Amino acid sequence: MVYSRSGYNGIKKPDILRRKIFRNYDKPDDLYSLNPEKCQDDFMTSYSLNPITDEDGPAIIDIFNYYILNSYAAYPENPVPYEFFGMFAEIAKNYPSVVARDPDGTVAGFGMLRPHNPMPAFRHAAEITYFIRPEQTGVGIGSAMLAYLEDEGKKKGITIILASISSLNEGSIRFHARHGFTGCGKFSKVGIKKGVVFDTVWMQKDL
């Protein structure tokens, strides 16, 4: 893996591409004022959604490592090797997963459901994880991947989706609230990353 100041293996911080994506919107700098229906329409005409395959592993780890290095959305303190994809695949085994590809075939984001608890009594509840290339956030990819995972989850008997979110990741908390999740608890001061203490906020959605 090659890391540079611009990002992880070619993943750059939002700049020119973000401005290009937002050229049709009234407030390009406000990710949360976008017209959701227009975002969804634009997304569905140009992006594809499919289950994750082993071939997606390197791109997925590149995206994950970006968030390790640049945010508190991913909890590890240091970049993970490409072999870490095997852990993702194992914890999401037999559960729905999704990879979003842009018109050029580049992986724009990924998501998955995983068991909340391995005991059979909790088989109807799943936790959700997803990450999006930073220069492609705010254009409907997260909403589309969530809808995909909800639909596929229902087919597997999932009736409740849980999200564990860093209290420092306010954007994710707002995203989930807008998409029908409600707060159901908080673990205070349980996380420490690079010396910064944070809570984990739990949100829940009934399908």
Confidence tier at 15 by pLDDT (50, 70, 90): very low
Please name the helix (run of DSSP H) or strand (run of DSSP E) that holds residue 36, with its range, or none: helix 36-44
Residue 192 pLDDT > 70: yes
Strand order through the sheet with 182-193: 48-50, 97-101, 107-115, 125-132, 160-166, 196-206, 182-193
Q: Per-domain residue ranges for the chain?
A: 3-206
- The neighbouring-strand residues paired with 7 are 4
Taking domain 3-206, whether its CATH number is 3.40.50.410 is answered by no
> What does DSSP assign to residue 160?
E
What confidence tens digit (pLDDT) does each residue in 69-124 have?
Answer: 999 999 999 999 999 999 999 999 999 999 999 888 999 999 999 999 999 999 99
pLDDT value, residue 43: 54
**What's this model's pTM, rounded to 2 decimal places?**
0.79
| Short-list 111, 183, 103, 182, CA closest to 146 | 111
Q: Can you tell me the distance from the alpha carbon of 163 to that of 174, in angstroms, rounded to the nearest whole number?
A: 12
Tokens of 201: 């906020």
Give the C-alpha separation, 17 to 32, whole Å: 18
pLDDT of 115-149, one tens digit each?
Answer: 999 999 999 999 999 999 999 888 899 999 999 99
